[in-house]
């Protein structure tokens, strides 16, 4: 939540995932590509690993390059963000309000459409 609060003025996309989840690994590739398409001044991507151990995450990150920050989920994260499965994507608008939430894999085309729509709505509303 602190990362969301510090990102006022930017969209924040949080992707909840786990190293053992094949759909999550595919989505990491999608998010890594998209990260370069959206300037950091407009969209911040954060990954949150729901793995049980930091060792699993560390081993995964030593083999898989991810070009956005990844954090280990702390106690209570699953309930705070209503994560009942992975992958899960949550997007917060520039004011820090949740504007999108979905469990399941998001293809690049759908994710671009969602981000572009939110960014367009926010620019047209004068924010």
Confidence at residue 123, expressed as pLDDT on a 0 to 100 scale: 80
Q: Token pair 């004068």 is at which residue? A: 126
Confidence at residue 17, expressed as pLDDT on a 0 to 100 scale: 98
Confidence at residue 1, expressed as pLDDT on a 0 to 100 scale: 59
For the sheet with 88-92, list strands across it: 70-72, 43-49, 11-17, 88-92, 98-103
In angstroms, the CA 96 to CA 107 distance is 24
Q: Is the pLDDT of residue 11 over 80?
A: yes
Per-residue pLDDT band for 6 (boundaries 50, 70, 90) equals low
Instruction: Write down the mean pLDDT value for the chain.
Output: 90
- Strand spans (E) along 56-115: 70-72, 88-92, 98-103
- pTM for the predicted model, two decimal places: 0.91
Q: Which domains does the chain have, with CATH numbers?
A: 2-124 (3.40.30.10)
User: Which bin fits 21, alpha (ψ -120 to 50), beta or left (φ > 0)?
Assistant: beta
């Amino acid at each position: 939540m602190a990362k969301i609060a510090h990102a006022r003025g930017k969209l924040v996309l949080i992707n909840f995932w786990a190293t053992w989840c094949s759909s999550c690994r595919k989505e990491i590739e999608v998010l890594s590509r998209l990260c370069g398409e959206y300037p950091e001044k407009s969209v911040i991507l954060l990954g949150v690993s729901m793995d049980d151990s930091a060792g699993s995450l560390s081993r995964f990150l030593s083999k898989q390059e991810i070009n956005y920050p990844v954090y280990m989920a702390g106690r209570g994260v699953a309930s705070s963000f209503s994560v009942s499965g992975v992958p899960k994507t949550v997007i917060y608008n520039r004011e820090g309000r949740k504007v999108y939430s979905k469990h399941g894999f998001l293809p690049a085309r759908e994710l671009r459409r969602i981000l572009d729509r939110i960014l367009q709505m926010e620019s047209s509303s004068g924010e």
